[in-house]
């Protein structure tokens, strides 16, 4: 699906688990801290430090490789550095309290180490051996049309968001004069789709803010709207393809959703063949005869 729930979006947002997100971020940042001493070169710029542990410019760039030099990306960097500081503070305190020496923690760390090595190994094998052709994708699409029927109306939309009515009128005048929508969006739009030229893809009507939905339903294909006011500012909308309820979504719109399905199917086949081959190379055995669940529970 081409719509999303990023901040500043005219599409309604969904909440996520704060604690889970915080925990994952902390784990990632602590891993960077653990590797810092090994990766720091003598001439690297130090961005932040907690005691003797440092975060270098190289590590920061590696952690945030896709951001550009803009006000938004600077905010991302500042936020990341603050999260790194917090995670490192917590890690160092945990070390002082000898948390890592607890048997249960050592056991869990060893399991994490093994799981990570296995995941890297499997990812490498799957990347090497799992290939999905365009012909296979198209065949799946043609044989499974019911999967791609929509249960509501979808509209392919391009949108430019600006702050003021005057800016919106200027944008519309430029588009009416024949300027490229994508280029104008990259130059003028203030929402998170600007780098995609304002392309939102297929958006379900009920996910649009009411002010936008009422306008979109009255527009024709490739029509450019007049400025539409919402709580975010003023929108200029261009409509594209319309997929009505019960219709099958076009192949181009669902290709990227089919790809992971076929990759997963082929990946499972590769996995089972790999397990079978490795099993033939070593002596395997399972013996439950001397194992007692009650005794194991008592040990805990």
pTM of the model: 0.54
User: DSSP H helical segments within 53-203, as ranges?
Assistant: 57-63, 71-96, 103-129, 134-143, 165-176, 181-188
pLDDT for 6 equals 45
pLDDT for 290 equals 77
* 13, 192 contact by CB (below 8 A): no
pLDDT for 219 equals 93
Please state, in angstroms and rounded to a whole number, the distance separating the CA atoms of residues 275 and 94.
Answer: 39
Residue 209's closest CA among 3, 20, 1, 2? 3
| Domain 150-243 top-level CATH class | alpha beta
18-40 tens-digit pLDDT: 444 555 555 555 555 555 545 44
pLDDT for 103 equals 95
pLDDT for 40 equals 47
pLDDT for 77 equals 85
pLDDT for 68 equals 52
Q: Where in the chain is the domain with CATH 3.10.50.40?
A: 150-243
Please state, in angstroms and rounded to a whole number, the distance separating the CA atoms of residues 255 and 258.
Answer: 5
pLDDT for 288 equals 84
Within the chain, which residues score under 70 in pLDDT? Answer: 1-43, 65-72, 293-300
173-197 tens-digit pLDDT: 999 999 999 999 999 999 989 999 9
pLDDT for 71 equals 52
Pairing of strands 154-162, 199-204: antiparallel
pLDDT for 63 equals 83
């Amino acid at each position: 699906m081409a719509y999303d729930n990023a901040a500043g979006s005219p599409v309604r947002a969904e909440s996520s688990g704060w604690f889970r997100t915080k925990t994952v971020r902390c784990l990632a940042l602590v891993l960077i801290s653990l590797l810092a001493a090994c990766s720091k070169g003598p001439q690297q710029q130090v961005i932040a430090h907690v005691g003797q542990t440092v975060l270098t410019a190289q590590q920061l760039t590696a952690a945030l490789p896709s951001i550009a030099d803009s006000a938004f990306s600077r905010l991302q960097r500042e936020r990341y550095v603050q999260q790194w500081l917090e995670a490192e503070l917590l890690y160092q305190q945990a070390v002082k309290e000898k948390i890592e020496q607890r048997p249960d923690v050592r056991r869990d760390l060893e399991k994490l180490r093994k799981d990570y090595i296995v995941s890297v190994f499997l990812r490498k094998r799957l990347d090497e051996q799992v290939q999905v052709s365009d012909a296979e994708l198209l065949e799946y699409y043609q044989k499974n049309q019911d999967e791609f029927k929509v249960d509501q109306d979808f509209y392919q939309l391009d949108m430019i968001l600006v702050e003021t009515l005057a800016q919106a009128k200027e944008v519309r005048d430029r588009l009416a004069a024949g300027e490229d929508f994508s280029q104008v969006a990259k130059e003028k739009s203030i929402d998170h789709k600007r780098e995609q030229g304002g392309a939102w893809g297929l958006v379900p009507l009920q996910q649009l803010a009411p002010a936008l939905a009422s306008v979109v339903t009255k527009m024709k294909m490739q029509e450019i709207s007049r400025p539409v006011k919402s709580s975010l500012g003023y929108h200029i909308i261009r409509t594209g393809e319309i997929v009505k309820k019960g219709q099958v979504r076009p192949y181009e719109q669902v290709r990227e959703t089919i790809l992971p399905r076929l990759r997963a199917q082929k990946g499972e086949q590769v996995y089972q063949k790999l397990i079978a081959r490795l099993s033939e190379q070593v002596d395997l055995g399972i013996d439950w005869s001397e194992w007692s669940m009650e005794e194991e529970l008592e040990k805990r």
